[in-house]
């Protein structure tokens, strides 16, 4: 095979993204930029109540408004149970939703849709729909969701169960429980116990492009949907089910996508424009406003975590208990799998802990729907985990960097958690083949000047004190034995190639990364590889952009596909050069005979194959399903200045040192880390869904839901420490998600380092820090004295 020879020339290079010039000059199109011929414009009426039944819905007045063409509601749309989660089939999320229901489960749940000749008419018509509600008592407190006497959101016959713990009669959307060893015994051996509660709010992905979808009928009467999706193939499947149209009558096209971060791993708008376009045999268009994105799409799961860690005198961890309560919101999309990941992506990291229990529940509430969000549960888990580890290391008087090095999983090692906990079901056993977390810790510590600053409480100015904090994390690379990706490729007579992939570039640069992988196999500049991705008619299947899977899973499909093309090129060259294939190697856009030193160019080979001799199309396809999910690792360090008078926190520097295997494109890999870091810092300090007493979001706008700008962003340093992952394409793992896990706990640990205040609930506001500073003695006393207290929430191991 070609790649045995010579050094890598196309991977490991920071080539510019193959769509970036077209994007920078605004030549590229996003969903809302597509022109449609005489479309119907859609607008949606949302529930003003967190929990209600529609007792009457009168659309007569709206219907007669000139320009109104169609109105959809529970009265005329088939009641088909489904989940909007864009996951593999069957989805590990309960089928608890219908497109339009007469029962409403959060402020922002869909009541009706109007399709009209203009957006203004559609919106005016919404005002004319008369709805009477029987307002029900809402359930807004997840901690009470399973109590007796609280409102129930789902149940009866109105859901399709998945074969896991799901009890809508108790508002239980999902439950996961695993245990190893003997936790009681572990805790009884402990000399120190850190037992604390942590809390994280819901958050918005804030992809700059709001969700949008278009649909039209093509020349042969098929339905075409263009949408802001991370999962075009799942979208096609779910639309097919919901509008009762055969799958092959539907084509889903993903154009450029303005960011996803999990928010577009949901099939929300596609069935709606599909219904309107199909029903009226006219194009339809639906573009959400920012407010609609906030209230009616998806959020990060708000979470409460209860963690207990026991340690012996030398700092050895004798037991670890993690309990987690996730807020599903009104529907349970991704609830089981995010919940699983709280444990599955966190607990294997310190694999030497023998006594472990993890118990998680995800519960319904009458709040906006939670779903996939970069980090996918690991972010929630690591917020608690890293603060616990900081506390234990401090108690044992050990440096946290050294402490993490002692406990983290290493090459050649495994964790029982890999097998016990997968994506909503049992996982897949695996051994870690690449891990440079210790080097990440060392390099990151040097970059942040850990030894000079840690524990020194350096004063900067009159009232400010400096602190540094650390967090470690891992993620996965795809979902083993579930995620499938495919690629097809053909060679043109001038020696160029077309690469067709189902993989979904949502701004990550995967079109470029995958072209680099093909280029490496074929020794051809990526400019000669024309990439077409994510069109359900033209490209083969891929699960889509989620679970940190694209480079690792889709990359292997591309590599295998390009390898088959290389074989055909060599075979054709052997015939032309009248030699044996084993004498030939692929070099820069040509084939060389190692014996005769003769070379023949790709153009000559392809021209011959196309036109002259034993003609055939040089082409291939390949599929790939990963058998394991090698974790990328990261060590992240925050340096903060805390104002002791006001509690104001300034993150002044943030360092990430990451092992993502071989970065196929280092600048793009850095970009993934930098984006995740700033999103993570913004979440740590500012971001949260705020609700009024009736469950209505009070801050659904960027003026009130503030995210970091360039001016707020501290100095960011990113260090890539390459390892060679044997199961990955050219040694690659993943990098899309892992870097969002560390900012919040690293900042919390840094604040503690500076002023001794522990903030266990996000966001970390100046007020919370200030209150902590006021109560500092009390805080210290309770932290060290809580060891004996049992909360009664522990699951039995």
Partner 1 sequence: MTGSLHINGTELQTSFRGNELLLDVLRNLGCTEVKEGCREGACGSCLVLLDGVLVNSCQVLAASALGREITTVKGLGSFHEPHPIQEAFVETGAVQCGFCTPGMVLATFALLKKNPKPEEAEIRHALDGNLCRCTGYVKIIEAVKMAAERMARHG
Choice from 140, 162, 190, 207 touching partner 1 (CB under 8 A): 207
Outline where 638-723 has alpha helix (H): 666-685
For 148-181, letters b (16+ CB in 10 Å) and e give: eebbebbeeeebeebeeebebebbbbbbbbbbbb
Quick check: 66 binds partner 1 (CB under 8 A)?
no
Q: How far apart are CA 424 and CA 305, in angstroms?
A: 19
CB nearer to partner 1: give 409 or 678: 678
Give the x-and-dash track for 134-173 against partner 1 (CB under 8 A). ----------------------------------------
3-class SS at 44?
Answer: strand
Kindly report the number of other CB atoms within 10 A of residue 4's CB atom. Answer: 6
Choice from 3, 9, 28, 575 touching partner 1 (CB under 8 A): 28
Quick check: 255 binds partner 1 (CB under 8 A)?
no
Question: DSSP assignment of 378-394, as one string?
Answer: HHHHHHHHHHHHHHHHH
Return the closest-CA partner of residue 372 out of 262, 261, 210. Answer: 262
Is residue 412 within 8 A of residue 351, CB to CB? The reply is: no
Kindly report the number of other CB atoms within 10 A of residue 226's CB atom. Answer: 27
Choice from 245, 707, 776, 794 touching partner 1 (CB under 8 A): 707
Quick check: 25 binds partner 1 (CB under 8 A)?
yes
Is residue 260 within 8 A of residue 374, CB to CB? The reply is: no
CB nearer to partner 1: give 600 or 677: 677
Is residue 49 within 8 A of residue 276, CB to CB? The reply is: no
Quick check: 699 binds partner 1 (CB under 8 A)?
no
Quick check: 702 binds partner 1 (CB under 8 A)?
yes
Do strands 356-364 and 584-587 pair parallel, antiparallel, or not at all (unpaired)?
unpaired
Q: How far apart are CA 339 and CA 336, in angstroms?
A: 5
Question: Looking at 123-131, 330-338, 550-558, 697-705, which segment touches partner 1 (CB under 8 A)?
Answer: 697-705
**Burial of 714: CB neighbours in 10 Å, binned 0-12, 13-18, 19+:** middle
CB nearer to partner 1: give 258 or 319: 258
Nearest distance in Å: CB 242, partner 1: 27
3-class SS at 654?
Answer: strand
Please give the structure tokens belonging to residue 427: 């996982």
Quick check: 20 binds partner 1 (CB under 8 A)?
yes
Choice from 12, 675, 695, 731 touching partner 1 (CB under 8 A): 675
Subset of residues 492 to 511 that bind partner 1, contact rule: CB under 8 A = 506-509
Quick check: 545 binds partner 1 (CB under 8 A)?
no
416 secondary structure, DSSP code: H
Is residue 141 within 8 A of residue 365, CB to CB? The reply is: yes
Question: Looking at 9-17, 84-92, 326-334, 751-759, which segment touches partner 1 (CB under 8 A)?
Answer: 9-17
Nearest distance in Å: CB 290, partner 1: 4
Q: How far apart are CA 504 and CA 508, in angstroms?
A: 9
3-class SS at 213?
Answer: strand
Please give the structure tokens belonging to residue 248: 């092959």
435: Cα separation from own chain's centroid: 22
Choice from 709, 785, 788, 796 touching partner 1 (CB under 8 A): 709
The length of the chain, given as a count of residues: 797
Nearest distance in Å: CB 746, partner 1: 15
3-class SS at 70?
Answer: strand
Quick check: 35 binds partner 1 (CB under 8 A)?
yes
Quick check: 676 binds partner 1 (CB under 8 A)?
yes
Question: Looking at 25-33, 128-136, 519-527, 550-558, which segment touches partner 1 (CB under 8 A)?
Answer: 25-33
CB nearer to partner 1: give 26 or 397: 26
CB nearer to partner 1: give 259 or 416: 259
CB nearer to partner 1: give 647 or 742: 742
Give, for 131, the enclosing helix (H) or strand (E): strand 130-135
Question: Looking at 10-18, 129-137, 277-285, 390-398, which segment touches partner 1 (CB under 8 A)?
Answer: 10-18
Nearest distance in Å: CB 767, partner 1: 24
Is residue 345 within 8 A of residue 283, CB to CB? The reply is: no
CB nearer to partner 1: give 23 or 312: 23
Quick check: 690 binds partner 1 (CB under 8 A)?
no
Query: H helices then E strands: how many in the chain?
Result: 20, 27
Quick check: 17 binds partner 1 (CB under 8 A)?
yes
3-class SS at 112?
Answer: strand
Quick check: 26 binds partner 1 (CB under 8 A)?
yes
Choice from 16, 127, 281, 698 touching partner 1 (CB under 8 A): 16
Choice from 117, 493, 571, 674 touching partner 1 (CB under 8 A): 674
Choice from 166, 192, 261, 418 touching partner 1 (CB under 8 A): 261
Quick check: 684 binds partner 1 (CB under 8 A)?
no
CA distances from 332 to 89, 216, 241, 327, 726 (A): 16, 31, 19, 9, 37
Subset of residues 281 to 320 that bind partner 1, contact rule: CB under 8 A = 287, 289-290
Quick check: 30 binds partner 1 (CB under 8 A)?
yes
Choice from 266, 423, 593, 670 touching partner 1 (CB under 8 A): 670
Residue numbers at the binding site for partner 1 (CB under 8 A): 14, 16-17, 19-30, 32-33, 35, 205-210, 256-259, 261, 287, 289-290, 506-509, 667-668, 670-671, 673-679, 701-703, 707-711, 713, 716, 718
């Amino acid at each position: 095979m070609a790649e045995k020879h010579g050094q890598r020339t196309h991977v490991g290079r920071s080539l510019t993204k193959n769509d970036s010039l077209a994007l920078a000059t605004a030549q590229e199109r996003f969903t809302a930029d597509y022109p449609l011929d005489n479309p119907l414009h859609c607008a949606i009426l949302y529930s003003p109540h967190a929990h209600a039944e529609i007792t009457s819905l009168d659309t007569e007045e709206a219907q007669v408004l000139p320009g109104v063409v169609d109105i959809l509601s529970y009265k005329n749309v088939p009641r088909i149970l489904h989940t909007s989660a864009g996951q593999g089939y069957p989805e590990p999320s309960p089928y608890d939703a219908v497109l339009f229901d007469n029962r409403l489960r959060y402020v922002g749940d869909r009541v009706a849709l109007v399709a009209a000749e203009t957006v203004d008419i559609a919106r005016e018509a919404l005002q004319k729909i008369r709805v009477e509600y029987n307002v029900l008592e809402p359930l807004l407190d997840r901690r009470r969701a399973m109590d007796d006497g609280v409102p129930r959101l789902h149940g009866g016959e109105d859901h399709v169960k998945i074969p896991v713990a799901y009890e809508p009669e108790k508002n239980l959307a999902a439950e996961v429980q695993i245990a190893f060893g003997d936790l009681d015994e572990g805790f009884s051996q402990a000399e120190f116990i850190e037992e604390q509660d942590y809390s994280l709010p819901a958050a918005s992905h804030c992809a700059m492009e709001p969700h949008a979808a278009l649909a039209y009928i093509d020349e042969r009467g098929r339905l075409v949907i263009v949408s802001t999706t991370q999962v075009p193939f799942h979208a096609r499947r779910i639309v097919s089910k919901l509008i009762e149209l055969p799958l092959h009558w539907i084509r889903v096209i993903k154009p450029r996508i303005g960011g996803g971060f999990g928010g577009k791993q949901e099939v929300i708008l596609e069935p709606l424009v599909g219904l309107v376009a199909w029903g009226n045999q006219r194009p339809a268009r639906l573009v959400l406003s920012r407010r609609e994105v906030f209230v009616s799409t998806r959020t990060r799961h708000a979470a409460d975590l209860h963690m207990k860690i026991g340690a012996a005198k030398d700092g050895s961890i004798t037991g670890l208990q993690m309990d987690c309560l996730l807020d599903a919101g009104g529907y349970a999309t991704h609830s089981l799998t995010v919940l699983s990941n709280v444990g599955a992506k966190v607990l294997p990291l310190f694999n030497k802990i023998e006594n472990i229990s993890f118990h998680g529940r995800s519960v319904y509430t009458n709040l906006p729907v939670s779903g996939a969000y970069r980090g996918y549960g690991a972010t929630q888990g690591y917020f608690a985990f890293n603060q616990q580890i900081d506390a234990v290391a401090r108690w044992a008087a050990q440096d946290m960097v050294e402490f993490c090095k002692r406990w983290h999983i290493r090459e050649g090692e495994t964790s029982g958690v890999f097998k016990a906990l997968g994506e909503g079901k049992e996982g897949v056993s695996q051994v870690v083949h690449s891990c440079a977390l210790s080097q990440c810790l060392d390099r990151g510590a040097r970059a942040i000047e850990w030894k000079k600053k840690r524990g020194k409480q350096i004063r900067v100015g009159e009232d400010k004190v400096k602190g540094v904090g650390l967090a470690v994390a891992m993620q996965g690379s795809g979902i083993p034995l579930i995620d499938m990706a495919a690629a097809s490729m053909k060679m043109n007579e001038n020696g160029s190639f077309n690469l067709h992939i189902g993989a979904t570039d949502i701004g990550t640069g995967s079109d470029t990364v995958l072209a680099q992988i093909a280029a490496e196999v074929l020794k051809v500049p990526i400019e000669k590889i024309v990439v077409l991705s994510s069109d359900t008619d033209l490209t083969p299947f891929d699960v889509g952009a989620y679970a940190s899977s694209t480079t690792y899973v889709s990359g292997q499909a591309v590599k295998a596909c390009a390898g088959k093309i290389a074989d055909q090129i060599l075979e054709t060259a052997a015939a032309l050069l009248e030699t044996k294939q084993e004498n030939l190697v692929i070099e820069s856009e040509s084939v060389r005979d190692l014996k005769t030193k003769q070379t023949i160019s790709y153009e000559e080979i392809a021209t011959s194959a196309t036109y002259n001799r034993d003609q055939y199309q040089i082409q291939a396809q390949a599929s790939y399903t990963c058998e394991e999910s090698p974790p990328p690792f990261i060590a992240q360090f925050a340096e903060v200045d805390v104002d002791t008078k006001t509690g104001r926190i300034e993150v002044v520097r943030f360092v990430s040192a990451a092992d993502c295997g071989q970065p196929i494109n280092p600048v793009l890999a850095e970009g993934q880390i930098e984006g995740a870091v700033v999103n993570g810092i913004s979440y740590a300090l500012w971001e949260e869904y705020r609700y009024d007493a009736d469950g209505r979001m009070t801050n659904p706008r960027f003026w009130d839901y503030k995210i970091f700008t360039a001016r707020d962003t501290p100095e960011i340093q990113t260090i890539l420490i390459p390892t060679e992952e044997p199961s990955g394409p050219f040694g690659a793992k993943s990098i899309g998600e892992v870097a969002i896990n560390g900012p919040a706990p690293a900042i919390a640990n840094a604040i503690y380092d500076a002023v001794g205040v522990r903030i266990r609930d996000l966001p970390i506001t100046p007020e919370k820090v200030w209150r902590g500073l006021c109560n500092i003695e009390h805080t210290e006393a309770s932290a060290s004295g809580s060891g004996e207290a049992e909360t009664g929430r522990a699951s039995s191991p």
